[in-house]
Structure 1
Amino acid sequence: MAGRHKLALLMAAALLTGSLAACGEPVADAKTLTYWASNQGSSLEFDKQTLAPVLERFEQQTGIHVKVEVVPWSDLLNRLLAAATSGRGPDVVNIGNTWSASLQATNALISFDPQAFDRIGGRDRFVPAALAAAGAPGKAPAAVPLYSLSYALYYNKQMFADAGISKPPATWEELVDVGKKLTNGKQWGLAIEGANPSENAHHAFTFSQQYGGEWFDVSGKPTFDTDQNVAAIKRYIDLMAVDKIVNPSNAEYAKNESLSDFANRKAAMLLWQAAGSAFQAQGMSPEEYGIAHVPFPANPPAGGKKVNSMVAGINIAVFRHSRNLEGAMEFVKFMTSDAEQVALNKVYGSLPSVKAALADPAFAAPEQKVLAEVLNSTASPLPQVTTESQFETLVGAVMKEQFANAANGKPITAAAIRAKLKAVEQRMKG
């Protein structure tokens, strides 16, 4: 106990001085921070331009200069894990909220205990649904919410009208039926990102919830090859393989190409998180598309849950190895302030993670209204277990392979999916 007490005192001293340096290394300039931002907009350059005035305001208020790098999603997790392992990297980072528990397990991020929350204005400021994906249950969060999101169904109004469709589908059966009417050789019913493991895993989670399944048991052990999970994956892959409402080329999509297909009228529907700003960047006006809740099964199986989205979003975290912890905490406080939450989320079309900002009229538009309805009623956080990031990587890769098979005309069978899931489950168990 004495050792723990001494460690706690040392950590407290480091927080006060902002000088938690690696052994033998000089203390960094207290007026400088490094920040890895996630790619939220239509391009890395768009994000740099969006963040530039924000970081300038922070420097004017605090005198602290922030060196920012916008990191593509395809690289972010690996770079975060490398920084966590090496003890070298930025001071402040954006993380996908689904990775919170996995990164928390590395002990590389500071914990937002009551004292840390007090330093950024208090825990009660944050939207409870957003905090649900900030770390393992029963532990102090490893990060705090920055941008809140949920999945929604986007649809092209004119393409629907031309096909004689009066309203968006509310069930998967209706989506397939509508998708077939909208697929005609020049356009497709639905666009997806078949080569994007994280995107695949998000849909695997949602379908599994609707089918009454779970990817982990209560102890955090993987339960991948269950009937429900197999059926969940097959239902999603079959949108291409059996229903043929998805262009086979989508099996190679991994970098937001599906958004371009939708914005350029090559696909009539899209399942995505806060896509409006990306559409606008490609010349599509908000009047051209509608937004609806993600469908549910017409006849839910026993145990099926009323879930149609994971709790999506971006969290902001501070590395313990930062040599300017005081400045890092000031930056988190600034980025989660009411004013900056309104400014940033307004640009990105996402939802503020703090209550006061969410009440701003800027978030009363149809898109944000639907996203908020889903987030606060029918969204569920992905399992907050230490191996969640492995789940996304491995199960997402299984689905990527199945999409590739579907694109090449190979049959997609429950037996083949089960075998692949069983193999990655065994890999997870080591």
Structure 2
Amino acid sequence: MKRKNWAAGIATTVLLTSVLSGCGGSNAGGSDKGSGESGGKVTLNVWGMGEEAKSLPKIAEQFEKDNPNIKINVQALPWASAHDKLLTAVASKKGPDVLQMGTTWIPEFAAAGALMDLKPMADKYPEIKEDNFYPGSIQTTKYEDKTVGVPWYIDTRVLYYRTDLLKEAGYNEAPKTWEELQDAAQKLTKRGSGKYGISLDPKEQSLTFMFARQNGSKLLDGKQPLFDQPQFVEAVDYLNSFFKNGSAPKDLGIDAVQGLSGDGIVPMFISGPWMVKLINDKAPDLKGKWATAVLPKKENNISALGGSNLSVFQHTEHKEEAMKFLAYMSKPETQLKWLEMTQSMPAAKKAWEDPVLKEDPNYKVIGEQMKASEPMPMIKPWEEIAQAYLKSFERIYRGQAEVKPELDAFNKQAQQILNK
């Protein structure tokens, strides 16, 4: 998910606590009639983020047919400006009825009192019950003892690789362990000058934390960071070794599809489900020469889980109508339609039984990896911690800083962030 001025956002959220306590209630902004008015047509204002939000009016058409007294009004917000717009809505208590929440935004806006607790509504709207979704995606909807969202679409990270080039390197299938991944990357690098084994994006903030979990790190113990502990240090050493031995490029200047194409400058990379369509569309000549696989394992093969949830704005005057819309969007058949329209992976487990996902080998891998996928820690300061880590890791892989002293310093910085 994209972010804009997160540090400012954190500071603004702190201020919101006092703002909220002093604000009077108001409606959710733009609705035609109150829920209790008979004969009136209610307009639900829905805020969606990014390009996919532009498809929301189409997916809402069937809902409007089934609920002729409810009109869905969609506002598509760019990710870059959505965070600030949400902060304004929280402060004024005037905003949408339903809103899309990136999974990492949940703690901040839940702490500000912006999101309705959906737990009491689960019996009335069984489509939102937790058992319908993957456990990892349910984690992203929790804040303290509340459930403030419903999983909408999900993504996780898997391994993409050139099957033909791996076979030439002695691998008839994808690497299954850390040792095999390192070995395969080095063998692929030996193909010649300008060739690499794997692309590891050092600016992808979840990458190291994902590998650290595979090595048994808990990342945090309550409010105590564990980034100076052996499990985390070993994971950073492992990732840095790909840059040190030249099997992963630091600054290649081409995208993943280009690296995979042709003679395969970079024949392995780790990314999300959206890459399946991109490869098929941009590199049709690779058909039959590439595949996906679950991540190689150390103690486990935990991947990072992302995506978006749908939440109800705490100050909406149309809670029942909003819940009807959430229930509709949570149906497996709705999420499969959304997959068809936007290539977004469904959060509902039952949707993965559909032949579209069950029989496609790449989507099947993604569904398998979902069983071992977890979100980043659902705490407000996590984004700030993650951004601080990226600076530390850059000093390691680019500046050759020693791993343990650098992580000792980062751990102290993380502790200060957690203590704020």
Normalising by structure 2, we get a TM-score of: 0.77
Cα 1:423–1:282, aligned 2, differ >3 Å: closer, same or farther?
same
Compute the displacement of 1:144 (Å): 0.9
Q: Which amino acid aligns with 1:227?
A: P
Match of 1:416 in 2: 406
Map of 2:75 onto structure 1: 68
Give the match's secondary structure for 1:191. coil
Counterpart residue number, 2:361: 366
Separation in 2 of the partners of 1:363 and 1:148?
14
Say which SS state the counterpart of residue 220 (structure 2) adopts.
coil
1:186-244 alpha-carbon deviations (Å, 9 max, x no partner): 4432223322xxx32x2233222222222221x4443443332233233323322x132
1:35 aligns to 2:46 (yes or no)? yes
Find the counterpart in structure 2 of residue 403 from structure 1. Answer: 394
Letter in 2 for 1:204: T
Secondary structure at 1:29 match in 2 = coil
Q: Which residue of 2 aligns with 1:228?
A: 231
Q: What one-letter code is carried by the residue in structure 2 that aligns with 1:366?
A: P
1:207 aligns with 2:208: no
Structure-1 separation of matches of 2:30 and 2:84:
27
Partner of 1:192 in structure 2? 200
In the alignment, the residues of structure 1 paired with residue 193 and residue 173 of structure 2 have an alpha-carbon distance, to the nearest angstrom, of 22
Partner of 1:291: 292
Q: 2:416 aligns with which of 405, 412, 426?
A: 426
Change (3 A) 1:269 1:38: farther
Q: Whose relative contact order is higher, 1 or 2, with alpha carbons under 8 Å and at least 6 apart? A: 1
Residue 186 of structure 2 aligns to which amino acid in structure 1?
A: K
Conserved? CA contact 1:90–1:322, under 8 Å: yes
Q: Is 1:338 aligned to 2:332, yes or no?
A: yes
Provide the C-alpha distance between the structure 1 equivalents of 2:280 and 2:47, rounded to a whole number of angstroms.
25
Amino acid at match of 1:278: L
Amino acid at match of 1:403: E
Equivalents in 1 of 2:367, 2:309: separation in Å?
Answer: 17
1:293 partner letter: V
Greater Cα offset, 54-63 or 259-268? 259-268
Following superposition, the deviation at residue 419 of structure 1 comes to: 0.9
Over the residues paired in the alignment, what is the CA RMSD in angstroms? 3.3
Query: What is the DSSP-based 3-state SS (H/G/I as helix, E as strand, rest coil) of the residue aligned with 2:316?
Result: coil
Is residue 181 from structure 1 mapped to residue 187 from structure 2 by the alignment? yes
TM-aligned CA distance change 1:85 to 1:204, over 3 Å? farther
Q: CA deviation at 1:413?
A: 2.5
Q: Whole-Å Cα distance in 1 between the matches of residues 357 and 89 of structure 2? A: 35
CA positional deviation for 1:50: 4.1
Residue 81 (structure 1) shift: 5.0
Tell me, in whole angstroms, the C-alpha distance in 1 between the residues paired with 2:384 and 2:29: 37
Residue 276 (structure 1) shift? 1.0
**1:351, distance to aligned residue in structure 2 (A):** 4.0
The change in CA–CA distance for 1:37 and 1:373 in structure 2 (over 3 A counts) is: same
**Equivalent pair of 2:57/2:73 in contact (CA under 8 Å):** no
The residue correspondences of 1:30-429 to structure 2 (distance < 5 A) are 30=33, 31-39=42-50, 44=51, 47=52, 50-62=55-67, 63-72=70-79, 80-81=86-87, 83-116=89-122, 118-119=124-125, 121-123=127-129, 126-136=132-142, 139-183=145-189, 184-195=192-203, 199-200=204-205, 202-217=206-221, 219-240=222-243, 242-249=244-251, 257-258=255-256, 261-262=259-260, 265-274=264-273, 275-284=275-284, 287-297=288-298, 305-364=299-358, 365-376=360-371, 378-384=372-378, 386-387=379-380, 390-403=381-394, 406-407=397-398, 410-429=400-419
Stretch moving more, 116-125 or 88-97: 116-125
CA contact (8 A) 1:239 1:246 kept: yes
- The code of the aligned residue for 1:123 comes to K
Distance in structure 1 (CA, Å) of the matches to 2:269 and 2:197: 9
- State the distance in 1 between where 2:195 and 2:366 align: 27
Change (3 A) 1:27 1:315: closer
- Contact 1:36-1:94 within 8 A present in 2 as well: yes
State the TM-score, normalized to the length of structure 1: 0.76
Could you say if the C-alpha distance between residues 61 and 91 of structure 1 is closer, same or farther in structure 2, counting changes exceeding 3 Å? Answer: same
> 1 CA distance for matches of 2:27 and 2:317?
12
Query: Any unmatched runs of 5+ in structure 1?
Result: 1-20, 298-304
Deviation at 1:323, TM superposition (A): 4.4
The question of whether the paired residues in 2 share the 8 Å contact of 1:194 and 1:400 is answered with no
Question: Is contact 2:141–2:150 with CA below 8 Å preserved after alignment?
Answer: no
